[in-house]
Amino acid sequence: CRDDLPRQAESEVSEKYRGFLGLCSHEYFHTWNVKRIRPLALAEADLSSEAYTRQLWIFEGITSYFDDLSLLRCGLIDTESYLELLARVFTRVLRGEGRHKQSLADSSFDAWTKFYHQDENAPNAIVSYYTKGSLVALALDLTLRKVSEGKTSLDDVMRRLWAEYGQIDKPLADGEVEAICSDIAGVDLSGFFEMAIRGYEDPDWSGLLAGFGIDMRLRSAQSDTDLGGRAKPQSDDGRVIPWLGARLINAAGQCKVANVFDSGPAQHAGISAGDIVLAMDGIKVIPASVDARIRTLEVGQHVDMHVFRRDELMQFSVTLNAAPQTTCGLVVRDDVTDDVIAHRDDWLRSI
């Protein structure tokens, strides 16, 4: 929209304009990765109805990895800005327990029935092939660079896909990207793909980033609007932050429970998505006041919540837990060897 565009008085790329540039970069990258390098399952499909593929982690995930990275490589944003964007993607992924219950391959295949028909339990049940797909692409890129001592990368994989598939309009079958990655790396990467694409585990993002002189630091969210990106915001005073384990929204002036997170305090107490919260400890609430009230309390304290559920008044006692440390910040380390700095620069700057 117009508000995303830069203004004459701005000396730096604004957050909104940065997001707009990322969107443009993403769609431009699709000119190659989707328009020409395309999955066999979609090339042969009748596109008047749903088509199914397990490869969207390639076509949307890898594209999502390169969209913001390309902004850095072409000089539109700096390293700090890129790492902030990357840390926010980590935050979105780490806050969803669904990544331990749905694989990336299944997320792709179930896109029509689950990803585009999300319900209130989606954060607990599904994972995005966009966001986690981009982080698996990051892990794959860093793994290729690591095992080859900087001689190969995901850039080389994309060049080969273009030469052997895109340029000659040959659709890409399942497993062919994985085979190309192993061939380029010179080592068998099948274990990586079983874990990252068809399994439910997270790659060792922290360890991989450390090998390139980047510290991955996790902390608790400072507020409901804390999207991550910074290792330690100014509002972080070091105290352990209590957590309700639910997301509240304003629904026509009412405080509605939008999501209840697995194994959290709200779920243990019996609160459900769709409940209308009336009061906390006898005081009327709105979503913002619940968040503010929770943060004045301590881990282990109890709060009494009155809610309406299908017009029935109910009361729950919630014992607050420590907020999970799933908010990410990425920090460039200076106390690393010249080789590490060279590999980091090659990753962030090469095309």
Residue 96 in 3-state DSSP?
A: coil
- Tell me, yes or no, whether 209 and 316 share the same domain: no
Question: How many structural domains does the chain have?
Answer: 2
**How far apart are alpha carbons 307 and 278 in whole angstroms?**
5
Which positions ≥6 away from 233 have C-beta within 8 Å? Answer: 222, 226
Q: What is the pLDDT of residue 47?
A: 82
CB 61 within 8 A of CB 128: no
The enclosing domain of 309 has a CATH number of: 2.30.42.10
Res 136 pLDDT > 90: yes
- Give me the domain span that covers residue 300: 242-322
Express each pLDDT in 240-284 by its tens digit. Answer: 899 999 999 999 999 999 999 999 999 999 999 999 999 999 999
* Sign of the Cα pseudo-torsion (254, 259, 265, 266, in order): positive
CB 133 within 8 A of CB 33: no
The owner of tokens 């698996």 is 136
pLDDT band with cut points at 50, 70 and 90 for residue 297: very high
Q: Where are the beta strands (DSSP E) in 143-260?
A: 214-219, 242-243, 246-251, 254-260
- Tell me, yes or no, whether 274 and 340 share the same domain: no
What are the beta bridge partners of residue 248?
Answer: 257
- Tell me, yes or no, whether 210 and 128 share the same domain: yes
Express each pLDDT in 52-111 by its tens digit. Answer: 999 999 999 999 999 999 999 999 999 999 999 999 999 999 999 999 999 999 999 999
Q: What is the pLDDT of residue 224?
A: 81
Q: What is the pLDDT of residue 298?
A: 95
In percent, the amount of the chain with pLDDT more than 70 equals: 98
- Tell me, yes or no, whether 296 and 336 share the same domain: no
What are the beta bridge partners of residue 214?
Answer: 332
| pTM attached to this predicted model | 0.94
